[in-house]
Amino acid sequence: MSVLQKARPVSRTEAPREPRVTDEHGRRIRVGELVVRYVLLLAVLALTVGPFLWQLSTSLKGPTEDIFSSPPTFLPGHPTLHNYERVADTIPVWDYALNSLKVAAANVVTNCVGSALAGYALARLRYRGRRVATLVFILAMLVPVEGIIIAQFTTMRELGLNNTLIGVVLPGCVGAMNVLLMRNAFRNLPYEIEEAAYVDGANVWQRFLRVALPSVRGTVAVVAIFAFMGAWDDFLWPLIVLSDPSKFTLTIGLNYLHGTFANDERLVAAGTVIAVAPLIALFACLQRYFFRGVGEGAVKG
């Protein structure tokens, strides 16, 4: 399924011996082509990662350094963490980050469990109403969320869960998109895998837990990343549900920066780096499973 997996051993063993670079089928790649490829790769790299590095560089520049100069200075002359200190002085970054972490972790768990279960039901189990159930998730994916936020809040209040972290997690705790991703992953599994377990007398829960689920680990990683990203990045919903500042999440906290120091590019840059760094770190850890997972879940719509 995955290009990465198939190819990794090759790149590991062959990489140090420079001229014998091969493609995924073990054929040699010409040096000229190789140069062209690396030039293109570096160009795209500059485009995709460059903006983040520029933000990082801006956040490390001291108050006396000109951040508007032309031609631009890419590296800070005297790198300083001063801007980060000011962010921490203005808002309780660690408390808010902890809240965000709780919300994100809960969101990851509920999404992985909930969408794996639902995805399995949609892909593998046969029952009346399966198509309606599938349709429910497809429609839910198409609903424009900007229009329903107040109705969501009213419901949450009726449940008595406003101003709680549970209230923040609940509406997105089993994302429709994630359910459909899991469904596709399960559908792409050959039936033979489960057949053996069935013959051994395993019931549906056992087949799900011991056979099907382990085979779609990659998609679970995708769902985990999406769930973490979604919870970590959300601003408007936590703002509306939460009233108590001690429960605020990091995105709300960073908004204080924008509201209080809108004129100071360095400080805003430091805030964005704080917001994005944990995501990049998490992704770096999970990327191996992740790339495999997107393949499983999304190839066949």
Partner 1 sequence: MTTSTVTRVRRQLPSSPWLFAAPGLLITGVFILYPFVSTVVNAFTDRRTLVPGKFVGLANFRELLHDDMFWIGLRNSALYVVCVVPALVVLPLLLALLVRKNIPGITFFRSAFYTPVVASIVVVGLIWVWLLDERGLVNSLLETVGVGRVGFLSDQWLLLFSAMAVTVWKGLGYYMIIYLAALANVPRELHEAASVDGAGAIRRFLTVTVPAVRSTMVLVAALSSVAAFKVFSEVYLMAGPSGGPAGEDTTLVMLVQRTGTGLTGRVGYASAISLVVFVVTVALMLLVLRADRRDES
Partner 2 sequence: MSVSRKTLATAAFLALVLPLSACGSGGDNGGSGDASGKVEGDITFQTWNLRANFRSYFDGVIADFEKQYPGTHVKWIDQPAEGYADKISADAAGGTLPDVVNVSPDLVAPLAKAGLALDLDKAAAKYKKEYLAGAWASHQIPGTTGTYAFPWYLNTGPLFYNKSLFKKAGLDPDSPPKTYDDLFADALTMAHKSDGKVATLANVPTIEDFGRYGVELMNKQGTAFTFNDTKGVQLLSKYKELYDAKALDPQALTATPESSGKKFLTEAVAMNPGSALDLGNFKKQAPNLYKNIGITDQITSTGHVNMYVMGVMVNSRTKRTPAAVAFAHYVTDAEHQMSFARKVAIFPSTAGSLEDPYFTKEDGTDETRVRIAAAKSLKNAVNYTPVLFSDQMKTALRNEVAKALQGKESPKAALDNAVKACDTLLQQQG
Positions 228 through 247 that interact with partner 2 (CB under 8 A): 235-236, 239-240, 243-245
Q: Cα torsion for 21, 291, 104, 83, to the nearest 10°?
A: 30
Q: Report DSSP letters for 161-219, one per residue.
A: -TTSHHHHHGGGTT-HHHHHHHHHHHHTS-HHHHHHHHHTT--HHHIIIIIIHHHTHHH
Query: In this chain, which of 7, 57, 202, 256 binds partner 2, going by CB under 8 A?
Result: 256
Identify the DSSP state of 245: G
Using rule CB under 8 A, residue 10 touches partner 1: yes
Q: Decide if residue 69 touches partner 2 (CB under 8 A).
A: no
Task: Quote the least distance from Cβ 293 to partner 1, whole Å.
Answer: 9
Residue 151 or 199: the one with the smaller Cβ distance to partner 2 is 151
Using CB under 8 A as the binding rule, the residues of this chain from 81 to 100 that contact partner 2 are 90-91
Q: Does 263 bind partner 2 (CB under 8 A)?
A: yes
Q: Which of 30, 142, 160, 259 is close enough to bind partner 1 by CB under 8 A? A: 142
Q: What distance lies between CA 250 and its chain's CA centroid?
A: 16
Ranges within 243-262 binding partner 1 (CB under 8 A): 251, 258
Q: Catalogue the long-range contacts made by 132-140 (C-beta closer than 8 Å, 24 or more residues apart).
A: 134/183, 137/176, 137/179, 137/180, 138/176, 138/180, 140/176
Q: Give the integer Cα–Cα distance in Å for 181 and 78.
A: 47
**Interface with partner 2 by CB under 8 A: which residues?**
63, 68, 90-91, 129, 131-132, 149-150, 153-154, 156-158, 162-163, 235-236, 239-240, 243-245, 252, 255-256, 258-260, 262-264
